[in-house]
Amino acid sequence: MRVTGKGLINRDKQISFSFDGKSYNGFEGDTIASALLANDVRLMARSFKYHRPRGPLTAGSEEPNALMTLHSGARQTPNVRATAQEIFSGLEVRSQNNWPNLERDVMSVNDMFSNFLSAGFYYKTFMWPRAFWEKLYEPIIRRAAGLGALSGLHDEDMNEKAYAFCDVLVIGSGPAGLMAALTAARSGADVILAEDDSRFGGRLLSEVEDVDGKPGHLWVDDVIAELSAMDNVRLMKRTSIVGAYDQGTYGAVERVSGHLRGAHADAPLEVFWRISAKQSVLAAGALERPVAFPMNDRPGIMTASAVRSYLNRWGVAPGKRVAVFGNNDDAHRTARDLAAAGVEVAALIDSRPDSGPSGDFPILTGAEVIDTKGRLGLKQITVRTNAGMQTISADCLAMSGGWNPSVHLTCHMNGRPVWDDKLLSFVPKDGAIPGMTVAGAAQGVMSTAGALQSGLEAAKTALAAVDAKVADVTAPQAEDAAYNIAPLWQVSGKGRAWLDFQNDVTTKDVKQAAAENYQSVEHMKRYTTQGMATDQGKNSNVGALAVLADATGRGIPETGTTTFRPPFTPVAMATLGAGARGAGFAPQRFITSHDMTVKAGAPMIEAGLWYRPSYYPEKGELTWRESTDREVNMVRNHVGITDVSTLGKIDVQGPDAGAFLDFVYTNMFSTLKVGRVRYGLMLREDGFVMDDGTTARLGENHYVMTTTTAGAGEVMKHLEFVHQCLVPDMDVQFISVTEQWAQFAVAGPKSRVLLNRILDSEIDNDSWPFMACGDVSMGGVQGRLFRISFSGEHAYEVAIPSRYGEALYAALLEEAKALDGGSYGMEALNVLRIEKGFITHSEIHGRINAFDIGMERMISAKKDCIGKTSAARPGQVAQDRDRLVGLKPVTPSQKLMAGAHFYNVGAEATRENDQGYITSVCYSPTMKSYLALGFVKNGPNRMGEKIRMVDALRGVETLCEICHPVFMDQEGEKTRG
C-alpha cells in the first residue's frame, strides 16, 4: 500500500511492468519488491527445499527470499533480487521454483515431509540398489534443486571490463562513506566513491532523521552535488565492490543498462571493474538480522530496517496492520515511523523486560513471538508475555534482531572478524585488508553522528597513508543515540524457526548437526547447507552460530565463524567473462597471405593464436585427402609454396651471441660459418626437448634463430631467463623478428627455377648450396634467403619485410602455377615431413629427450648446455624407453591411426603389454602407403620387427613393421641436388 507524502520515488513518472503475467504499476525509483508491496503483493517466491511461500525479507541486495526471473528468450535472467532490481516500463518478471504456479506449488509437499528431509538426510539413504542413484534418486533430487532456470541459449548481451585507479576507494555512501569521500576529495586525493544501490545515501535514504539541520537525504544530495563537481572524484553508483584482492586490487560490478528500457545498442549491460586503490575506506554499513522464532518465514515477515526502507524511501507500507518484534531500540524506531506515517501498529513486542513506552501503540515488554499463521501471507502472530499467550492479527511483522556490520570484504584475504560482546556481533579485524580502513556501522559505530565522524577519521587515516594533506573538514550535526541491545538468538516454541531462509535451514537442523558431531562451524555449515544460499549467510550466519554455540555449550567466539569469500554479491558469469564470446577469448594473429588464402578456399586452422591453411581445394576434389595428395605430388614433382611466417624468428646479436647459443642449444653454433644455417635442438633444464629449429649466422655477431610456431613464446622467455638469470655477463641481445618478416617455403625440384624468376639476381647451387643463407633482393626490396628443407626436397625459405608479404606471396604463386606448382597447406606439409621423418611437437610432446628421438649425439661433449646434466640421468638413457621409429603397415592399404597403441604379435591388448604408440600418421601418395611416426620400447633395436597396432577406440587393428623414421631419401640427395 502506497503511503501518501512519503518516499523518494518520482510520483510523476508511473511505470508499468508485469509479474507472473499480471500487470502492475509503480513509480520511477521503485524496485520490483517495493512496487509489488505497494500493490499489496506479498507472496513473491518459494524457498529452495520445502517450497515455502515467501515474501521479501530485506530491502537490499542481500535478499534471500524474493528472487525472480527477468525477461525471456536468451535474455532470461534467473535469481534476480526483487529488492534491488529497479523497475522500468515493460519489464517482465516471473516467480521461480514453483509448479504450476506461485500460489499452488505442488512441490510444497516437501514441507509436509520436512521431518524426513532433515539435515544431511541424503547422506543416509538413496544407496540401495546402487544403480538407482544415477537412474532414479539423483534425477529426482536434481530436478527439485536449483532456484531459477537458465534459458539454455547463448547469452548475446554485451558486457565489458575496465580498469580504474585511485588514491582512496570509498565503499558505500551512507553517512560514513559520504563523509570519508568528502574529506578525501576536499583534501585533493583521487577518489572513487562506489555505491551498490541505485542512489547514494545508504541508510540516510531510509531513516527519518536530520543531518546538518536538514533531512538526511537532502544532505546527501548536497554532498553528491559537491563531489560530482570535482575533477578528482569519480562517483560510481549501481556499483558493487565484490572482491578485495592483494595489493589494493578490488573487483567491482557496475550495472550500466539493466535498469533501463532500450539502452543504447553499444552500451554494455554491466562493466566489471578492476580498481587499483592505494587506500580504501569500507563504509558498507550493517545488515539487520532476523530473529529465529517459530514460523518466522511467512510473507509479510521482514526485517524492521526493511520495513522502514519501504516506508521512508519508497513510500510503501508493507502491511495494513504491522507488528514489530525486536531486542533493540530500532524496533521502537520502526514502530514510531509507522505510526507517524499513519500505518496501524498492531503491537511492539520487545524481548527486553525493561524498555519503556515508545509511542501511541501497544507495547509488550519481555515478550516474544512464538508462532505465526497465514498460509500465503502473515495473518496472525502469537506472543508469549509474562502474562501469558496473546494472539494478535497482523499482516506484516517487522523483526529486529540487531545489526551485523558488513564485514564481508574484510574476510576476503582470510581475516576473521572478532566478536564484540557489547554489540552482539562480529566486527572487522584491524588490518584484515592492507590499506583498508573500516568506518561507520561496518565498524560497529551505530549512530549517524558516530558514523559521520568515523568516516572523517577513516579518510584521514587513508590520506596520511598516501601522504596527502588533510583539508579542514568537520562532521555535521546528526542523531547520536546509543545502541541498546539484549541477546535474542532463538525463541523456543513448537514450530520450526528458520535461520537460512532460502535453504530452509532451521534451528533444529543446526542442533541435529551438533548432535551428530558436526560441531565445527564449517562442518555444521556444510552438513546443513546453512549459509550456502545466494546470500552467502549474510542474513543467517551469526544467528546460526549462536544456535550452534548454544547446542555445543560453547561461547560464540569459541565456536568461531565461517568466512566470507568473494564475491560480496553474486556476479553474472557474462560480466566476469566479458569479451570472451566467440573470437574474443584470445587474440587472433593473421599471416600476410591470409586474405588471399581464404579467397582461394583454403580452410584455415588454428595454430596457437595463428591461422594457417589446411589445404587448397581445387575443382572436382571432394575430400581433403584428394587435395592433399595432389599438393604432395606437386611438391615432390614440381614446386609448392607455403607461408611459414608463423614460425618464431629471433634476432640474436652481440659479441657473445655464439657462446650464448652454444649454451642454450645442445650442439655448437659458435663454429657455424657466416652465411650458413644449422639445425639446433633445445632442451629444458630437466633434459627434455623444449623446441627445435634452424639458426642462421648472418654476421660475426649476428644470428637469427627459428623456433616452432607453438614454441616461439616459450623459447623467447627461456632465452631471456638464461641470459638475465644465469649468464647476465654475456653481451647479447634478443629481439623477436617474427613479425618483421613474411617468410615462405619454396619446395620442390623446380624451387630454384621459380626463385630465379623472383630474385633480382640469380642463384645457383654453388652460390647457394644446401644450408646456405644470406641477403637477396626482390623487386628492389631486400630480403633473406635460406636454403633449408622441411620436405626433403630441394627447397628454400624466402623472407621479405612483412609489408610486402602479400605481394611476394602473390608473385610466388603466379610463378609456381606457371611451373605446374602452387600452394600447399598444413596437411601436405605434414605428409612431406612424415615421409622424410622430420619431427614436430607431435613427437617432441614434452616427455621426450634427445635419446628418445635418436639425437643423443647432438648433445655436444665439448661444452655444457642447458639440460645436459639432466638428460644423462640413468632413467633417461634406458634402452627400453619409448623411442622414435617409423612404422608402415605390412599391407600398404591398411590404415594407421594416430593415437593407436602397439602390442607384440600374439600379446593381448592390455596396458601391461603396451609397446608404444603412434604420434603422427599420413597417407603417403609417394610411397602409396600409410606411414607413421611413433614411439616403441627399445624401438631402434627392433627394426624390421612386426608389431600390432590397435586402435580400440575406432576399432582398427593393423599389423605393422618397425622401420627407420626416414621413409625416403635417407641420404638427402634430393635436398642437396
Partner 1 sequence: MVNLVAKSPCAALLPLSAGNVTLTEQHPDALTSVAPFAEKEVEVSASLTVTHGVAYPAVNHAVGKDGARAIWFGQGQAMVMGGKVSDDLVQLAAVTDQSDAWAVMRLQGASSADVLARLVPVDLRSSVFAEGDTVRTELQHMMASITCVGTDCFDIMVMRSFAKTAVHDLHAAMKSVAALSI
Partner 2 sequence: MRLTCPLCGERDRREFYYKGDAIALNRPAPDAGTDAWDDYLYLRDNPAGVTKDLWQHELGCSAWIVVERNTVTHEVLSTALASDVKKATK
Partner 3 sequence: MRFSAWQVLKNGLTGNKGWTPHWRSPEPKKEYDIIIIGGGGHGLSTAYHLAAVYGNANVAVLEKGYIGGGNVGRNTTIVRANYFLDGNSQFYSHSLKLWEKMEGDLNFNAMHSQRGIINLFHSDGQRDAAARRGNMMISQGDDAILLDREGVREQVPFLDFEQTRFPIYGGLYHKRGGTARHDAVAWGYARGADQRGVDIIQNCEVTGIDIENGAVTGVQTTKGPIKAKKVGMVAAGRSGQVAAMAGMRLPIESNILQAFVTEGLKPCLDHVVTYGMGHFYISQSDKGGLVFGGDLDFYASYASRGNLSTAEHVIEAGMALMPMIGKAKMLRSWGGIMDMTPDGSPIIDKTDIDGLYVDCGWNYGGFKAVPASGDCFAHLLATGRPHDVAKKFRLDRFRTGVDILDEEGKGSQHNLH
Closer to partner 1 by Cβ: residue 40 or 651: 651
Does residue number 536 form part of the binding site for partner 3 (CB under 8 A)?
yes
* Residues of span 864-883 touching partner 2 by CB under 8 A: 864, 868-870
Q: How far is the CB of 664 from partner 2 (least distance, A)?
A: 13
Which partner from the list partner 2, partner 1, partner 3, none does 164 bind, CB cut-off 5 to 8 Å by kind? Answer: partner 1
Contacted entry of partner 1, partner 2, partner 3, none for residue 508, CB cut-off 5 to 8 Å set by kind:
partner 3
Q: Please report, as residue ranges, which positions from 167 to 196 form the binding site for partner 1 (by CB under 8 A).
A: 190
CA distance linking residue 422 with residue 968, whole number of Å: 87
CA distance 466 to 453: 20
Nearest distance in Å: CB 920, partner 3 = 8
Reading the block at residue 547, the C-alpha cell is 544456535
Q: How many CB atoms lie within 10 A of CB 517?
A: 10
C-alpha cell at 964: 627407420
125 in contact with partner 3 (CB under 8 A): yes
Write the CA distances from 540 to 403, 500, 547, integer angstroms. Answer: 12, 5, 11
Q: Is the four-CA dihedral 889, 893, 898, 901 of positive or negative sign?
A: negative
Residue 56 CA to residue 65 CA, distance in Å, equals: 6
Q: Which of 422, 469, 619, 911 binds partner 3 (CB under 8 A)?
A: 911
Taking the complex as a whole, how short is the minimal distance between the CB of residue 755 and partner 1, in angstroms? 11
If 0-12 CB within 10 Å is exposed, 13-18 middle and 19+ buried, where does residue 950 land? middle
860 is a site residue for partner 2 (CB under 8 A): no
> In the range 510-529, which residues lie near partner 3 by CB under 8 A?
512, 515-520, 522-523, 526-527, 529
Candidates 136, 162, 609, 726; binder of partner 2 (CB under 8 A) is 726
Q: Which listed residue (4, 21, 100, 115) binds partner 3 by CB under 8 A?
A: 115
> Should residue 767 be labelled a site residue for partner 1 when binding is judged by CB under 8 A?
no
Q: Please state, as a whole number, how many other Cβ atoms lie within 10 Å of the Cβ of residue 522.
A: 12
CA distance 113 to 119: 13
Q: And the C-alpha cell for 925?
A: 601418395
Q: Which stretch binds partner 3 (CB under 8 A): 138-146, 304-312, 457-465, 770-778?
A: 138-146
**Pairing of the two strands 946-951 and 956-963:** antiparallel
Quote the least distance from Cβ 868 to partner 2, whole Å: 6
* Interaction between residue 731 and partner 1 (CB under 8 A): yes
CB atoms within 10 A of CB 847: 11
Which one of 126-134, 432-440, 461-469, 483-491 is the stretch in contact with partner 3 (CB under 8 A)? Answer: 126-134
Decide: is 123 part of the binding site for partner 2 (CB under 8 A): no
Whose cell is 539435515? That residue is: 119
Residue 670 DSSP SS3: coil
C-alpha 204/C-alpha 216 separation (Å) is 5
User: Residue 717 touches which of partner 1, partner 2, partner 3, none (CB < 5 to 8 A by kind)?
Assistant: partner 2
Instruction: Name the 3-class secondary structure at 557.
Output: helix
Q: Which of residues 829-858 bind partner 3 (CB under 8 A)?
A: 841-842, 845-847
Q: Does 653 bind partner 1 (CB under 8 A)?
A: yes
Q: Considering only residues 143 through 172, tell me which ones interact with partner 1, judged by CB under 8 A.
A: 158, 160-165
Q: Which is nearer to partner 1, 242 or 960 (CB)?
A: 242
Q: According to CB under 8 A, which residues from 77 to 106 bind partner 3?
A: 77-79
* Residues of span 447-476 touching partner 3 by CB under 8 A: none
The residue (of 15 and 853) whose beta carbon lies closer to partner 3 is 853
Least distance from partner 1 to the Cβ atom of residue 752, Å: 16
Task: Check binding of 506 to partner 3 (CB under 8 A).
Answer: no
As measured in angstroms, the least distance from the Cβ of 716 to partner 3 is: 16
Measured over the CA atoms of residue 861, residue 863, residue 867 and residue 872, the dihedral's sign is: positive
**Contact with partner 2 (CB under 8 A): which of 215, 359, 366, 434?**
434
Beta bridge partners, 16, equal: 25
Of the candidate residues 39, 108, 161, 376, the single one contacting partner 3 (CB under 8 A) = 161
* Cβ(335)–Cβ(309) below 8 Å: no
Cell numbers given for 646:
608463423
If one asks whether residue 673 binds partner 3 (CB under 8 A), the answer comes out as: no
Q: Does 571 contact partner 3 by CB under 8 A? A: yes
Contacts to partner 1 from residues 654-673, by CB under 8 A: 654-655
Q: Looking at 7, 148, 177, 318, which residue binds partner 3 (CB under 8 A)?
A: 148
Footprint of partner 3 on residues 946-965 (CB under 8 A)?
950-954
For the record, the C-alpha cell of 17 comes out as 511492468
Q: Which of 12, 246, 700, 764 binds partner 2 (CB under 8 A)?
A: 246
How far is it, in rounded angstroms, from Cα 958 to Cα 294?
Answer: 73
Which of partner 3, partner 2, partner 1, none interacts with 189 (beta carbon under 5 to 8 A by kind)? none
Q: What angle do CA 363, 364, 365 make, to 5 degrees?
A: 115
Instruction: Work out what residue 654 binds among partner 2, partner 1, partner 3, none; the CB cut-off runs from 5 to 8 Å by kind.
Output: partner 1
Neighbours of 110 (CB within 10 A): 19
Residues 6+ apart with CB under 8 A from 267: 158, 256, 257
Q: Which does 248 bind (CB under 5 to 8 A by kind): partner 3, partner 1, partner 2, none?
A: partner 2
Any contact of residue 47 with partner 3 (CB under 8 A)?
no
Q: Which is nearer to partner 3, 345 or 578 (CB)?
A: 578
Residues 382-421 that bind partner 2 (CB under 8 A): 413
Residue from 20, 685, 914, 961 binding partner 2 (CB under 8 A): 685
User: How far lies 513's CA from each of 120, 499, 543, in Å?
Assistant: 8, 14, 15
| Residue 817 binds partner 1 (CB under 8 A) | no
| Binding of residue 717 to partner 2 (CB under 8 A) | yes
DSSP 389-435: EEEEE-SEEEEE--EEE--GGGGTTSPPPEEETTTTEEEPPTTSSTT
Binding site partner of 661, from partner 2, partner 3, partner 1, none, Cβ cut-off 5-8 A by kind: none
Distance in angstroms (rounded) separating the CA atoms of residues 122 and 496: 20
Pairwise CA distance, residues 371 & 920, whole Å: 74
By the rule CB under 8 A, 721 interacts with partner 2: yes
| Residue 686 within binding range of partner 2, rule CB under 8 A | yes
Nearest to 81 by CA among 772, 661, 570: 570
Kindly state the smallest distance separating residue 691's Cβ from partner 2, in Å: 17
Examine residue 775 and tell whether it contacts partner 1 (CB under 8 A). no
- Sheet of 363-365, strands arranged across: 301-303, 396-400, 321-326, 344-350, 363-365
- DSSP string of 475-526, one letter each residue: PPPB------B----B--SSS--EEETTTTEEHHHHHHHHHTT--SHHHHHH
826-835 and 624-637 helices cross at what angle (nearest 10)? 60
Torsion angle defined by CA atoms of residues 494, 499, 500 and 504, in that order, rounded to the nearest 10 degrees: -10
Residues 594-623 that bind partner 3 (CB under 8 A): 605-606
From the CB of 578, what's the least distance to partner 3, in Å?
8
Spatial contact of 797 and 845, defined as CB atoms under 8 Å apart? no
Question: 857: how many CB neighbours lie within 10 A of its CB?
Answer: 11
Binding of partner 2 by 160 (CB under 8 A)? no
Residue type at position 759: L
Give the interface size with partner 2 as a residue count (CB under 8 A).
24
Interface residues toward partner 1, by CB under 8 A: 158, 160-165, 190, 256, 263-268, 274, 276, 579, 583, 586-592, 610, 651, 653-655, 731, 733, 735-741, 757-758, 760, 778-781, 800-808, 811
Site residues for partner 2 per CB under 8 A: 245-249, 274, 276, 413, 434, 685-686, 717, 720-721, 723-726, 728-729, 864, 868-870
